[in-house]
Structure 1
Amino acid sequence: MLDILRRIVQEVSAATDLSDALKVVVARIREAMATEVCSVYLYDSDAKRYVLMATEGLKQEAVGRVSLSSSQGLVGLVGSREEPINVDNAPEHPRFHFLSETGEDPFLSFLGVPIIHHKRLMGVMVVQQRDSRQFDTGEEAFLVTMSAQLAGVIAHAEATGNILEIPETTERKKSTRFAGAPGSPGVALGRAFVITPAADLGAVVDKEAESIDEEIERFEAALEAARNEIRVLGKKLSSELRPEEMALFDVYLNMLDDQALGAEVRARIEEGNWAQGALRQVVMQYVGHFQMMEDVYLRERATDIIDLGTRILAHLQGNDEVAEEYDFPDDTILISEELTPAMLGEVPPQKLRGLISVKGSSNSHVAILARAMGIPTVMGVVDVPYAQLHGLDIIVDGYRGHMYSSPNDELREQYQAIYEEEQALQKDLEGLRNLPAETSDGHRIPLWVNTGLITDAVRSLERGAEGVGLYRTEVPFMMQDRFPSESEQQNIYRIQLETFAPAPVTMRTLDIGGDKALTYFPISEANPFLGWRGIRVTLDHPEIFLVQVRAMMKASEGLNNLRIMLPMITSVGEVDEALHLVYRAHAELLEDGYKIEMPQVGVMIEVPAAVYQIRDLGQRVDFLSVGSNDLTQYLLAVDRNNPRVADLYQAFHPAVLNALKMIADAASSIGKPVSVCGELAGNPLGAVLLMGMGYDMLSMNATNLPKVKSVIRGVSQQWAETLVDDVLRIDSAPVIASMVQLALEKAGFGRIIGPLRT
């Protein structure tokens, strides 16, 4: 049966359109199951009807003409239950509905299975037989498997506008939604422009070099051409980006340095491989290292390496076509399998409306640039048939991480209204920049930001940030091929501290290991999220910890706005050991003549064990900070980067909210300040709950700061506390989210939270 299934899938994949695919499916399934009828009914959600769109065994003239309402017949029962229905005498079933047009009255046996794609009902597949019998479990499993395959085919057909027209039920083309991850907030309406790499590294074969010197010369020429290309593309964006943001293009150029990728390729050529083969070997070796890493930021480095390798290969192969030859529409939605910063530079900025990448995440360099440029972006839209979208109308929803192909008029009008409201809202929020986040009854709650690059810092100050609640110090470590020296770290940290001085900057000590292994410090584990990471790594390597802490303290000399935060804490023993090293580093620097105040030291509360040790941990440190992203992940046992279970990651889960309240109460009881530095703090719905729970500071992405400030200034602390009391009595995450949303709408914040609705 597996071989039959494989052959059917291959034949369906080769079909030119959905109509042909459905004909193949019904014919092959009827043959494989040795039954007399196989039919496919597609569900028209607008008309709420199932329409017969393909059959083998019923009358062909019924195709496209016969339909059932969503509650009619056994087909309707299969759809409403979203599970198989297997009966041996269909006419006796209370839900049987006779359709004389199909000629189905002689058939007694009925097996129907739903066709579902990403929780959306696409239709029903049915097999029938004259004899009275129940189809066995193997046959049922086979049909269920085929329906799952067919669901993807139908969804792709919808996305490309190749869906079958259903007569007499609808006059408009279906809009199709695909889900990804939010990359940059905002909405955009435009026309798809699919961009593909100029060359294919995977197609390169190894070949002996006829002349090593000539191959090295060819490679160096291609390398220099790629450098010039990156410079040109970066220059095109220079009017849209600050120098700090343009530094991402310097990262590309550094990768192309003679002492980096270039040196390794030359070494492979000297071993006898031709330039293309040597380039492929080195690039794929780099890519292999990065792609094995669980951390999304590090995985994105693989995309950068592939992009550079592809550009060099294009020049080696003589493919020097320039980007100016592209005729981009005025409302370009740029789409690619893996978008890169260099691709972003190929589109005239005034024509670029939105971005969609099949692969990648919100941590990719292109997403960072998109946020800086204010371009709505969706990353990781894995199921979209991107190659077939060129020229289609597209809507990008960067708030939810959704894209819509071929939107109908109603959807287009809805998003156009959101876009116009968004533009008006941004103008209104700009006036809040220099105002405090203070409630109507005088409660003040500082709003800080999470940063990792200097571009984040500059953007944060423009949005009115009052400090840094989380500076990810691992970012500089990721950008190098070795551990940065103490002086290198000191220079990087100094820039951050000076940028925000005199406001506080909270620097998290190196949070690597397990899911964030460095290429030059590889770690391979079966379960990295529960493995060697965070403080566990740096305590095992005190030489790394001491160098970093010394660099932080040196960088703070004369500013004294440094706060040090310890990640992944699970016990007081870890805190005691880390504090011993911090005090030792401070004493050594004083002996060396540095005039440095002892910085405040705090711990991150991001694992369940720490939740129950707040008093003991708090008595040892100066502050506490909740990493709500990891805490939610660990409490719910859900990897939010895994699309199979991502919908189970619920920030408003009752267990999560009760844990957060427990932390705030325990911190208050010992007089220690406590903040939240996860995504929940940047969600206006979450921010009011955290304020009502008693959190002292909130730290978030700079983009969300104005909206959170607007909401806080428009409610009272008492209002927020009452809302928390009501919410903690609810046992359903969706109900809690809806309840908070409704409360904010009644408070007059429908404009603020509108785009955030789920």
Structure 2
Amino acid sequence: MLSLLRRITQEVTAAQSLQAALEIIVRRVRRAMRSEVCSIYLVDPNTQDYILMATRGLNAEAAGKLSLKADEGLVSLVGRRAEPVNLEDAHVHPAFHYLSGTGEERYKSFLGVPIIHHRQVLGVLVVQHEERRRFDEGEEAFLITLSAQLAGVIAHAEATGAMMSLTSSTPAGSDFRYKGVAGSSGVAIGKAAVIFPPADLDVIPDRTPQSVEAEVEDFYQALEAVRADIKKVSSRLSQHISSDEKALFDVYLKILDDNSLAAEIIKKIEEGNWAPGALRQVVKLHISFFEQMEDPYLRERATDIRDLGRRILSHLQEKTPSVTEEITEPVIIVGEELTASMLGEFPLDKVKGLVSVMGSSSSHVAILARAMGIPTVMGAVDLPYSKLDKVDMIVDGYSGQIFTYPSDAIIDSYQQIVDEERQLESEYEQLKDLPCETLDGQRIGLYVNTGLLADVNRSLDRGAEGVGLYRTEVPFMIRDRFPTEAEQEQIYRQQLEGFAPAPVTIRTLDVGGDKALPYFPISEENPFLGWRGIRVTLDHLEIFMAQIRAMIKASAGLHNLKIMLPMISNVAEVEEALALIRRAYAEVKEEGYDVVMPQVGVMIEVPSAVYQAKELAGMVDFMSVGSNDLTQYLLAVDRNNSRVANLYHNFHPAVLRALADIVERTKGEGVKLSVCGELAGDPLGAILIMAMGYNTLSMSSTSLPKVKAVLRKLTMEQAQDMLRQVLPLVHSDAVRQTMMKLVREAGVERLIRPSKTAALQ
């Protein structure tokens, strides 16, 4: 059964349209279950009617024309209950309704199962028999399992305009809308530039070629280059392998010499796709054919086809300019999974917005986008990104929405938001040299999170009072080896000098989880609960000691260094780290450096640290709550997983109560408290954090002016009243909605987001 399910799912996934996918389902299910009828009804999102979209056994001409009301018939009963309905004689059931024109009157037995994706009923899969009999448990289980497998495919197909509806000929003004997760606030209007990693067939976008003849010529040259490569490898290994093994290379050459394969690719190019896109279409189609074959030997040929496709693509890409080289005008970067390193390859003055199919608002690329003020949407899982190269697009980083082929009306509406944003920016600029002080005189320290040298000037220009978090993993990640102690000293010195005499909090190396070093791979089944942060560096004293010594040396004569330890989960880790820091300080002092013992603090990121906050406070000089990871660990939600992105809430009542609890537990300990996660850079979050009793907030430089503008318009009493109203709430959405209502009443909503955005959501 498992292999059958896999083959059906593969066929459906490879289908070129939604209708083709539905036809495959009804044909294959009818055959597999030996049923006389198999039909699929899909829910019309506008009317909620159940439309007969595909059938085998009923009148095929009725497909796409006939429908049942939301409260009519057994099909809608399955949808309303969101569970299977299995009947021996459907005609006697009170909910039975004959759908005229289908020819179903002679079929008695009925089994319908709902197609559900993310708690939403998309449709109903039905099988029927003429004889009176109840479908057995095995048949019902098969249909339920298949329905669950196909739900995502159908949801994606519907969301993307039936898979193939978005083409280069799609008319402007179609206003296709897709939902993702808000990654970085702001609005971007422009053309999309789809990026993709090298030699990856799955993510190659479709493009209209500038010259069909040139694309055909490039393809033939790539084909010949791969032939030459394989012959060379075969010749080199011929003395070391048997004739049978050498025949494997002959198989490759036969596939390449198959005129039908090349002819199919040429045909796709002539139909208007560039060579890499045509290659992807044909190769993936052939892979799906082989994967569906019963014979294991023939099924393995799918691997050969995929390998050859990648080899041809690799040669094609050698002649194709990279996306970064092609970008001469500002664009919106779109990709399956954007990363911070990818972003670093683009000229930032040409990046208007970012859209990533994978990832969440707490992915590192989203954090980096917020630091640079680039409107971003993450987790847009239904976006047909391969069809969107050079397509007009709007990115709404406030609501997490994306519009493709936007109409003039919606462009005008969003352009007004862009204009209002510019007006707000000029208002923020006037506050740069003013302190962050509430109307009743309460002073709040506003610091920045940094990781690059370029952050220094940007942060100072926006009124930063120091660095609340310097991420040392950034200079580690851009190298192909560990930086030496001397190299680290130079890097840290630049940050310390840039902000002197203001304090700079440098976090010790925090790798593991979703942050990997290419030369120090950490492979674990559950990396976020594994070897990361302080656990790694205490296990590798040579890394830890070199880093601490470099930090202390870099602070010579400046005396503005603060050291922060990440991922602390118990007191013993702090005791061990403090002993090592004191040892490093003594060693550096003996070498004649003019240094003072830096303040040392810990990050509160895991629940155990929340409940040991009092004990930890007695050991260190300061504590900083990393709200991103604390939220992740409190809610058991991987913050980079788009499947559960909707469960990750900074304003979750448990997160807010944990933050308040930390303040309560550390009262009287004389420890300084700050928050350095993304919650601190959200004006609504900043209000609540300030009201709890935290006197320092650290955020991206882009968020700082907005937070300052909002806090300066409120009194501490107003903020504390807001906190009292939201702490008892039990839903994250209720917290945010209540806060938006309260800031509206306080007259500061327009400082948080342009007024037009509310009307468009």
Q: Tell me how far apart the structure 1 counterparts of residues 696 and 479 of structure 2 sit (CA, whole Å).
A: 33
User: Shift of the alpha carbon at 1:693?
Assistant: 1.0
Q: CA deviation at 1:20?
A: 2.8
2:397 and 2:135 map into 1 onto residues whose CA distance is 46
CA contact (8 A) 2:395 2:401 kept: yes
Instruction: Quote the Cα distance in structure 1 between the aligned partners of 2:734 and 2:362.
Output: 30
Is it true that 1:177 corresponds to 2:178 in the alignment? yes
| Cα separation, partners in 2 of 1:114 and 1:510, compared to 1, 3 Å | same
- Is this contact kept in 1: 2:465–2:502, CA < 8 A? yes
The alpha-carbon distance between structure 1 residues 116 and 696, as it changes in their structure 2 partners (threshold 3 A), is same
Structure 2 residue 544 is the aligned partner of structure 1 residue 545? yes
Q: Summarize the Cα distance change of 1:739–1:362 in structure 2 as closer, same or farther, 3 Å threshold.
A: closer
SS at match of 1:714: coil
Residues 87-117 of structure 1 show CA distances to partners (whole Å, capped at 9, x for unaligned) of 3343444444443343434444332233334
The CA deviation string for residues 712-745 of structure 1, in whole angstroms up to 9 with x for no partner, is 1222211222222232222233322322232223
Q: Out of 531-540 and 317-326, give the one that drifted further.
A: 317-326
Deviation digits for residues 45-67 of structure 1, max 9, x if unmatched? 22332222222233344333322
Which residue in the other structure is 2:693 paired with? 694
Secondary structure of the 2:463 match is: coil
Aligned pair 1:710/2:695, yes or no?
A: no
Please tell me the residue identity of whatever aligns with 2:52: L
Match of 1:454 in 2: 453
Closer, same or farther: CA 51–568 of 1 in aligned 2, 3 Å: same
Distance 1:71 1:347, change over 3 A: farther
Q: How does 1:37-186 map to 2 (within 5 A)?
A: 37-158=37-158, 160-162=160-162, 175-179=176-180, 182=183, 184-186=184-186
Contact 1:194 1:335 (C-alpha < 8 Å) held by counterparts: yes
Distance of aligned partners of 1:480 and 1:590 in 2 relative to their CA distance in 1, 3 Å threshold? same
In the TM superposition, what is the alpha-carbon distance from 1:505 to its structure 2 partner? Answer: 0.8
CA contact (8 A) 1:180 1:401 kept: yes
In the superposition, the TM-score normalised over structure 2's length comes to: 0.75
- 2:531 is paired with a residue of what secondary structure? coil
8 Å Cα contact 1:176-1:406 kept in structure 2:
no
- Cα distance 1:534–1:351, how it changes in 2: closer, same or farther (>3 A)? closer
Distance apart, 1:317 and its partner CA:
8.3
User: What does residue 639 of structure 2 align with?
Assistant: 640
Q: Does 1:398 align with 2:397?
A: yes
Aligned-partner Cα distance in 2 for 1:646–1:689: 23
Alpha-carbon offset, residue 470 of structure 1: 0.8
Aligned letter for 1:43?
V
Query: Paired residue for 1:476?
Result: 475
CA displacement at 1:644 relative to structure 2: 3.6
Query: In structure 2, do the counterparts of structure 1 residues 173 and 63 end up closer, same or farther at CA, with 3 Å as the change threshold?
Result: farther
SS at match of 1:440: coil
What is the aligned partner in structure 2 of residue 622 from structure 1? 621
Partner in structure 1 of residue 261 of structure 2: none
Aligned to 1:503: 502
Equivalent residue, structure 2, for 1:440: 439
Q: Is the 8 A contact 2:157 2:163 kept in 1?
A: yes
In the alignment, the residues of structure 1 paired with residue 502 and residue 325 of structure 2 have an alpha-carbon distance, to the nearest angstrom, of 48
1:34 aligns to what?
34
Q: Report the more deviating stretch, 591-600 or 378-387.
A: 378-387
Q: Name the structure 2 match of 1:574.
A: 573
User: How far has the Cα of 1:25 moved from its partner?
Assistant: 2.2
CA drift at 1:599: 1.8
Seen in structure 2, the aligned counterparts of structure 1 residues 349 and 593 have a Cα distance that, compared at 3 Å, is closer
More moved, 314-323 vs 529-538: 314-323
Change (3 A) 1:736 1:480: same
- d(CA) in 2 for partners of 1:415 and 1:345? 27
CA contact (8 A) 1:158 1:175 kept: no
Cα deviation for residue 492 of structure 1 reads: 0.5
User: Which residue type is aligned with residue 677 of structure 1?
Assistant: C
1:479-490 superposed matches below 5 A:
479-490=478-489
| Aligned pairs (5 A) from 1:264-275 | none
Alpha-carbon displacement from aligned partner over 1:269-292 (angstroms, at most 9, x marks no partner): xxxxxxxxxxxxxxxxxxxxxxxx
Identity %: 59
Question: CA separation in 2, counterparts of 1:93 and 1:331?
Answer: 62
8 Å contact from structure 2 (residues 360, 642) kept in 1: no
Q: Tell me how far 1:564 sits from its aligned partner.
A: 1.1
Retained in 2: the 8 A contact 1:741–1:753? no
Offset from partner CA, 1:490-533 (integer Å, 9 cap, x none): 11011111111222111112223566554444544454333333
2:54 aligned counterpart, secondary structure: strand
Equivalent position amino acid for 1:68 in 2: L
1: distance between equivalents of 2:394 and 2:663?
41
In the TM superposition, residue 199 of structure 1 has moved relative to its aligned partner by 5.9
Q: Distance in 1 between matches of 2:718 and 2:338?
A: 44
| Alpha-carbon distance in structure 2 between the residues aligned to 1:47 and 1:634 | 41
For the residues of structure 1 that align with 2:342 and 2:543, how far apart are their CA atoms?
37
Gaps of 5+ in 2: 166-172, 203-221, 237-309
Q: State whether residues 516 and 522 of structure 2, in contact with CA within 8 Å, keep that contact through their aligned partners in structure 1.
A: yes
Aligned amino acid, residue 50 of structure 1: Y
Q: Report the secondary structure of 2:559's partner residue.
A: coil
Comparing 625-634 and 69-78, the one that deviates more: 69-78
Structure 2: distance between partners of 1:607 and 1:368: 20
Q: Deviations over 1:529-568 (max 9, x none)?
A: 3333333333344443333222212212222211111222
Cα gap change, 1:518/1:345 in structure 2, threshold over 3 Å: closer, same or farther? closer
Q: What is the aligned partner in structure 1 of residue 612 from structure 2?
A: 613
Q: Secondary structure at the match of 2:702?
A: helix
Deviations along 1:302-331, whole A, 9 cap, x unmatched? xxxxxxxx99x9789862658799698x88
In 1, Cα distance between equivalents of 2:485 and 2:571: 28
Tell me whether 315-324 or 627-636 shows the greater mean CA deviation: 315-324
Assess, with a 3 A threshold, how the Cα gap between structure 1 residues 17 and 481 changes in structure 2: closer, same or farther: closer
Matches of 2:531 and 2:725 in 1, distance apart? 40
Q: 1:433 to 1:124 in 2, by over 3 A?
A: farther
Q: Tell me if structure 2 keeps the 8 A contact 1:569–1:605.
A: yes
RMSD across aligned positions (CA): 4.0
Alignment match, 2:275: none
* Cα pair 1:665 1:694 within 8 Å, conserved: no
SS at match of 1:100: coil
Q: Rate the CA distance shift 1:124–1:208 in 2: closer, same or farther, 3 A.
A: same
Residue by residue, what CA displacement relative to the aligned partner does 1:188-221 show, whole Å, maximum 9, x if unpaired?
3444444566766999767758999xxxxxxxxx
Q: Which moved more, 1:583-592 or 1:632-641?
A: 583-592
CA–CA separation in structure 2 for the residues paired with 1:637 and 1:90: 44
CA contact (8 A) 2:52 2:66 kept: yes
Residue aligned with 2:674, SS: strand
1:297-312 mapped onto 2 (5 Å cutoff)? none
Number of aligned positions between the proteins: 653
- 1:672 to partner: Cα distance: 1.7
- Deviation of 1:661 after TM superposition, in Å, equals 0.8
Tell me the CA shift for residue 607 of structure 1: 1.9
Report the equivalent of 1:682.
681
TM-score, scaled to structure 1? 0.75
Give the partner amino acid of 1:485: T
User: Which one is further off, 460-469 or 371-380?
Assistant: 371-380
Amino acid at match of 2:85: I
CA distance 1:533–1:723, shift in 2 (3 Å): same
8 Å Cα contact 1:160-1:405 kept in structure 2: no
Q: Which deviates further from its counterpart, 36-45 or 382-391?
A: 382-391
Task: Say if 2:604 and 2:625, in contact at 8 Å, map to a contact too.
Answer: yes
- Alignment partner of 1:727 is 2:690: no
Structure 1 range deviating more: 483-492 or 29-38:
29-38
In structure 2, C-alpha distance between the alignment counterparts of 1:95 and 1:364, rounded to whole Å: 48
Q: Is the 8 A contact 2:657 2:727 kept in 1?
A: yes
**Distance change >3 Å, CA 721–CA 89, structure 1 → 2:** farther
Residue 628 of structure 1 and its aligned partner are, at CA, apart by 1.5
Query: Hey, what's the Cα distance between the residues in 1 that align with 2:115 and 2:413?
Result: 29
